Amino acid sequence: MMNTFSVTRTVRFSAAHRLHNPDWSDERNRAVYGRCANPGGHGHNYALRVTVTGPLDPESGMVLNVTDLRDVLRAEVVERMDHRNLNTDVPYLAGAVTTMENIAMRIAEQLAEPLKRMGVRLSRLELAESDRNSVTLEFKDS
Amino acid sequence: MMNTFSVTRTVRFSAAHRLHNPDWSDERNRAVYGRCANPGGHGHNYALRVTVTGPLDPESGMVLNVTDLRDVLRAEVVERMDHRNLNTDVPYLAGAVTTMENIAMRIAEQLAEPLKRMGVRLSRLELAESDRNSVTLEFKDS
Amino acid sequence: MMNTFSVTRTVRFSAAHRLHNPDWSDERNRAVYGRCANPGGHGHNYALRVTVTGPLDPESGMVLNVTDLRDVLRAEVVERMDHRNLNTDVPYLAGAVTTMENIAMRIAEQLAEPLKRMGVRLSRLELAESDRNSVTLEFKDS
Amino acid sequence: MMNTFSVTRTVRFSAAHRLHNPDWSDERNRAVYGRCANPGGHGHNYALRVTVTGPLDPESGMVLNVTDLRDVLRAEVVERMDHRNLNTDVPYLAGAVTTMENIAMRIAEQLAEPLKRMGVRLSRLELAESDRNSVTLEFKDS
Amino acid sequence: MMNTFSVTRTVRFSAAHRLHNPDWSDERNRAVYGRCANPGGHGHNYALRVTVTGPLDPESGMVLNVTDLRDVLRAEVVERMDHRNLNTDVPYLAGAVTTMENIAMRIAEQLAEPLKRMGVRLSRLELAESDRNSVTLEFKDS
Amino acid sequence: MMNTFSVTRTVRFSAAHRLHNPDWSDERNRAVYGRCANPGGHGHNYALRVTVTGPLDPESGMVLNVTDLRDVLRAEVVERMDHRNLNTDVPYLAGAVTTMENIAMRIAEQLAEPLKRMGVRLSRLELAESDRNSVTLEFKDS
């Protein structure tokens, strides 16, 4: 029986965004993104669930201290996105249409280094813009 | 034993907003509203819980059909606010700083007439911008 | 500063029902109750929140033991309604159209005696058929 | 670092059902299904979470528009099951005991074609009849 | 139409406690408090919902800044109770059996002064030890 | 299209615990575990989600009856941990620092036999101490 240990932390942030591809006409933006293309934008209470995987330290009985994971997520995500506009205020989202998929991918890239330094591997990242809609990135062991 | 019958319907909408009083300096806006004054704005998944009170119709066994209440809330609130910017896109919020209190009060004014036509009284209106923050308006019987 | 102490317990039950007034034509049932009048019925996970009010016992530090309140709700509500059909299987709902309002009122009548014997007063009863729809009965102090 | 992109949409519907295998005696039905075999049936607020997997369109920044996924789920599931009796009112459940497993499998079969036409693969389907009970179907990449 | 404006903030804390009246025998403690009297104690994720009522400031559009309310609740409740033992670690609970009722009452006393200094009135305090059990204190206007 | 059928049941229990490695100094315990090392302990409402995988019985339409899974979880987990102190009151946790990881692993070991006797395989076990923190054990098919 082979098993894998993971630890998951959820953080939340409230942000505005608008789906808009500057290379497209307004008509095409409206056709592809619907109401999400409204010029004034809209917003969400986002929930980000980050899962890290690693060996269990037999002495501490932990994969990592979930408080340390929380601190990384606060520094890299909440401090930068909460009460901000994702289209204009977050340097590491620059140039991306702020879809759930793109935001999730950029967050994953941003977290890779700090998590590696903590000795764990980012295995799953779920970003939900509501109780009904979410995207999930799963990272297989290489 | 005197009792009161109420029916509550919850609707949700996702919107952007920014707290900004145009009569104030940027410094004062920042001092009073904190991060909520960020120029790019932010956003929320709002939950609106509207409670109406009235006599029980003994034949139908209902105060009102909750589907009718839903239809009013969709027409007067969700259709106008969902995937919009509350500072710029909602005519009946014009001129108000978009605090929870002001949004709730304007929604209550907007709902008064349609609810009266349905034979019920608006008795309570709760607007939550997250699971942690909400405002409540309670209307006493005159 | 006058204050009131209340204790609230939530119980859940899963039941089928159908809104149908036998004194009405099928057309009128459909017009008033919409999809809720479908002949095959439908169902819900109901949540019942019962609030009782009373003096604080200074010795025990409780209004009542919430476990005792739970036991009454299980005996009078859950045991009788869970995994049942509210139109046919619950004697104390007989003759009532199974609207949220009527179910709530009949439950309140059923609970009045047992709660009085426990030395508390039923002050509020909320019955929700989903996260979006609920009815509330409030009982004022006589 | 190999990764997989998924999008999940949750829809809800309220339905009645009863667990009953017509090839069995009443005794055996009761022994296997317990209270779920009660003749009058019972019901639930079901939550269906459907996950689709596919390549990220670099231009739109989406795997698919979650609104399109919602529309498929409304047409194929909610419109057919909400406020219905799953034992008698849903053609594509005919002949199946309405366990969570069977409902989930039939929904998966019903969704396969429309999702393929949208260019995505159904990778996971979770059907919950309450906050405590659910079944999950996972579809491995062929 | 007379109305009342309220603002509600929810905070959470995780704590251990045990119900035990030192003036009683072990038998009586067990008879009154049941499993809650287990000598090793148990614990909960508590949710505290504090509601304050006051006039709407027409200039700011707020009753108070909910961030200020949060800061008071963090200082007076979360900092003192989170990851603590309520029977031994919280000076202002000393001498009280740590029932939900007594905890709620002591918190209300603790909050009265700081809230008065902020120009609002504590009108309601709800303490929940789970999704199923809660107590509510309501303070009428004098 | 290869698929896997799983059934998930969630149970909850309220317990006290303290993170403390008796082989370490108080300073090291505090450095590694932070507030979780407070001598008086703290507590949580834990949620345990257990997923079992197995073939679908074509006659019953079930992998297993979720009520049987519930009974095992009540007997092996809830009866032993609810309203208890995890550091002192649960024999099968003896000798383990009561981190989420260790509790989850010991529960998995405790469930292996009873689940095997029911003809299903434990495939996933998630233990959450709050809505924000959880650990997950995934058991690959051998």
Whole-number pLDDT of residue A2: 52
Q: Which of E4, E8, E62 sits opposite B99 (nearest CB)?
A: E62
Per-residue pLDDT tens over the stretch A85-119: 999 999 999 999 999 999 999 999 999 999 999 99
Residue E42 predicted with pLDDT over 50: yes
Q: Residue C1 pLDDT more than 50?
A: no
Asked whether D90 and D55 are in contact (CB, 8 A), the reply is no
pLDDT score for B3: 75
Tens digit of each residue's pLDDT (9 = 90 or more) over D105-119: 999 999 999 999 999
CATH entry 3.40.1280.10 includes domain F4-138: no
Q: Is beta strand D3-17 parallel, antiparallel or unpaired with respect to D84-85?
A: parallel
Candidate list C17, C20, C36, C126, residue with the active-site label: C36
Contact yes or no for F61 and D102 at CB 8 A = yes
Chain D residues closer than 8 Å to A132 by CB = 9-11, 70
- Rounded CA-CA distance F32/D46 in Å is 43
Q: How far apart are CA A100 and CA A83, in angstroms?
A: 17
Distance CA B41, CA A40 (A): 10
In angstroms, the separation between the Cα of residue F139 and the nearest Cα of chain D is: 15
CB contact under 8 A, F33 and A65: yes
Residue F31 sits at φ, ψ, to 5 deg, of: -65, -40
Residue whose tokens read 């030890």: E129
State how far the Cα of A100 lies from the Cα of D9, in Å rounded to an integer: 13
Which residue among D108, D133, D136 places its CB closest to the CB of F66? D133
Q: Which residues, in sequence order, are CB contacts of B24 under 8 Å at separation 6+?
A: B32
Residues of B in contact with C34 (CB under 8 A): 65, 67
User: Which pLDDT score is estimated for C4?
Assistant: 87
DSSP-based three-state secondary structure for E5: strand
The per-residue pLDDT for F79 is 98
DSSP D101: H
Judge contact between D140 and D65, C-beta under 8 A.
no
Q: How far is D10 from chain A (nearest CA, A)?
A: 5
Query: How far, in Å, CA of C4 to CA of E136, rounded?
Result: 8
Using alpha carbons, list the distances in angstroms from residue E66 to A14, B107, B128, E120. 15, 20, 12, 12
Do residue A139 and residue D66 have CB atoms under 8 angstroms apart? no
Q: How far apart are CA C124 and CA B87, in angstroms?
A: 38
- From residue E24, alpha-carbon distances to C60, E29, E32 in Å are 10, 6, 10
Of the CA atoms within 13 Å of residue E26, those in its CB half-sphere come to 2
State the pLDDT confidence band at A56, using cuts at 50, 70 and 90: very high
Cβ separation F60–D134 shorter than 8 A: no
Q: Do A142 and D1 touch (CB under 8 A)?
A: yes
With 0-12 CB in 10 A as exposed, 13-18 as middle and 19+ as buried, what is B24? middle
Q: Distance (Å) from the C-alpha of residue E6 to the closest C-alpha of chain F?
A: 27
Q: Are the C-beta atoms of C139 and C121 separated by less than 8 Å? A: yes
Question: What's the CA gap between A70 and E132, in Å, rounded?
Answer: 28
Q: Domain segments of chain A: what residues? A: 4-138
Mean of pLDDT values over C19-23: 98
Whether F134 and A61 lie within 8 Å, measured CB to CB: no
pLDDT level of residue A141 (50, 70, 90 thresholds): confident
CA separation, residue E37 to residues E13, E45, F19 (Å): 21, 18, 22
Residues of A in CB contact (< 8 Å) with D are 21, 23, 32-34, 96-97, 99-102, 105, 108, 112, 131-140, 142
The per-residue pLDDT of chain C, averaged, comes to: 96
In whole angstroms, how far apart are CA E9 and each of A74, B128, E18, E64, E129? 21, 10, 27, 11, 16
Catalytic residue among B17, B36, B76, B126: B36
pLDDT for A1 beyond 50: no
pTM of the model: 0.96
Residues of B with a Cβ under 8 Å from any A Cβ are 12, 14-17, 35-36, 38, 40-45, 82-85, 87-89, 129-130
Residue stretches of chain F with pLDDT short of 50: 1
Cα–Cα distance, D20 to D127 (Å, whole number): 19
Q: Which of F37, F40, F57 is nearest to F99 (CA)?
A: F37
What token pair was written down for D6? 């998924």
Is the predicted pLDDT of residue E136 greater than 50, yes or no? Answer: yes
The H or E element spanning position C58 is none
Which residues from A are below 8 Å from D10, CB to CB? Answer: 131-133
List all residues 6 or more positions away from B79 whose beta carbon is below 8 Å from its beta carbon: none
- pLDDT score, position B78: 98
Mean pLDDT confidence for C34-56: 97
For chain B, percent of residues with pLDDT exceeding 90 = 95
pLDDT at E132 over 60: yes
Is residue F36 exposed (0-12), middle (13-18) or buried (19+ Cβ within 10 Å)?
A: buried
Please determine, for residue B1, whether its predicted confidence score (pLDDT) is greater than 70: no
Three-state DSSP at C45 gives strand
Q: What is the pLDDT of residues B89-139, one digit of tens each?
A: 999 999 999 999 999 999 999 999 999 999 999 999 999 999 999 999 999
Round to whole Å and give the CA distance between F77 and D113. 42
pLDDT band at B142 (very low <50, low <70, confident <90, very high): low
Give Cβ neighbours of residue A122 (< 8 Å, ≥ 6 apart): A50, A51, A52, A108, A111, A112, A115, A139
b/e map A106-124, b = 16+ CB within 10 Å: bbbebbeebbeebebbbbb
- A with B: touching (≥3 Cβ pairs within 8 Å): yes
Residue with tokens 């209270």: D35
C8 SS3 class: strand
